[in-house]
Amino acid sequence: MTEPATKATATPHEAKGAVTKLLLDLGPLLAFFIAYWLTGKNIIASTGLFMAATVAAMILSRISNGRISPMLWFSGVMVLGFGGLTIWLHDDTFIKIKPTIYYAMVAGILVFGLATGRPTLKVVLGSAYPGLSERGWTLLSRNWALFFVVMAIANEAVWRTTSTDFWLGYKLWGALPATLLFAGANIPMLMKHGLNDEAAETPMLPPQG
């Protein structure tokens, strides 16, 4: 009796690619958190390391993927811009408000794409989600736009009403897990609209605001 076909396990190359992608997505933000605690809560020094880690992620992306994604470019420019202002003016307001502006701008871009009938995520991530239908791209763009609006409001509420320690804790234990859960929650919908199984195993995570 023939054994039923089983799903192929990931090759070492695919596993390495998934780890690299995770480092690119989350590495700079985790470096920021670690530096904050290792430097005795020096947010200026931590911001400098955040900027350096972001540049390193962009270089690693160029080496490993042959390109730097538009989303990583966008995130990198914002980190360097607002991080530079934080260090130059010794005012952590800039690095705290950066996620709000990042989320709001990305949400605005996604809404504009939906309004003009061209889901922006398809332009940016088309190769990452093979098989996804036009309807799937529209729903995914809509979902992420709504998510980013909520995240922008949440960031504003937290940084304006709490301490720096609490804000960083929120980003690590609130915003980051929420993003991971939201990305995973979209997978059943994406598979219903044509996404293949392999792509579903590594859902896209935007660079963290």
Instruction: Please tell me the distance from the alpha carbon of residue 129 to that of residue 197, in angstroms, as a whole number.
Output: 10
Helix axes 43-65, 70-89, angle to 10 degrees: 160
Helix axes 176-185, 134-161, angle to 10 degrees: 160
Say what the pTM is: 0.83
The pLDDT value given to residue 164: 94
The pLDDT value given to residue 8: 45
The pLDDT value given to residue 102: 93
The pLDDT value given to residue 21: 65
Residue whose tokens read 């794409």: 113
The pLDDT value given to residue 165: 94
The pLDDT value given to residue 5: 44
Instruction: Please tell me the distance from the alpha carbon of residue 155 to that of residue 133, in angstroms, as a whole number.
Output: 33
Q: With a cut of 70, which residues of the chain have pLDDT below it?
A: 1-23, 126-127, 197-209
The pLDDT value given to residue 2: 44
- Both tokens of 122, joined, read 């398809």
In this structure, what are the phi and psi dihedrals at residue 67, rounded to the nearest 5 degrees?
-160, 165
